[in-house]
Amino acid sequence: MNIKIIAVGKIKEQYLKEALKEYEKRLSAFCSFSVIEVQAEQINDESMVEKYKEIEAQRIMQHIKQDSYIITLEIKGKMYSSEEFAKKIKDISNSGINDTTFVIGGANGLANNISDISSLKLSFSKMTFTHQMIRLILEEQIYRAFKINANEPYHR
């Protein structure tokens, strides 16, 4: 299975970079894993938020494969337990889909056209997290899902 995360913005904090690197190393035992960071738009004018999201969406779309299962992270998305999320990952793989792409928006969220092509809108909480923090949470949960699906200890 190929898993890709497309994230708006770059990770700046060293402690997060180290944690992400660790999960990316762990994930390599279970799947082909990659991360693409696209440039975030500088918010200079609050009245232009939709335009900023559209520009970011164009950058995101350049990296989405036509046949990929798209999962967007959205505050109003579906919430899963870790076990339910693991089952969802297994179901996607078992359906014959080889590529799964997770999309994390920037500070303004995602443009509607990105949300519209999503096969699944996923939420980890009703709370808002920075895109840097949610990326770490996402990578950890993907790793946890693979461990659950392999019946390996970690998820307890």
In a domain, residue 96? The reply is yes
- State the SS3 of 14-68: HHHHHHHHHHHHHHCCCCEEEEEEECCCCCCCHHHHHHHHHHHHHHHHCCCCCCC
Whether residue 156 lies inside any domain: the answer is no
Residue 155 maps to a domain:
no
Give the total number of structural domains in the chain.
1
Q: What is the pLDDT along the chain (156 residues), one digit of tens a residue?
A: 999 999 999 999 999 999 999 999 999 999 999 999 999 998 888 888 899 999 999 999 999 998 999 999 999 999 999 999 999 999 999 999 999 999 999 988 999 999 999 999 999 999 888 888 999 999 999 999 999 999 998 765
> Domain range holding 82?
2-149
CATH number at residue 114: 3.40.1280.10
In a domain, 154, yes or no: no
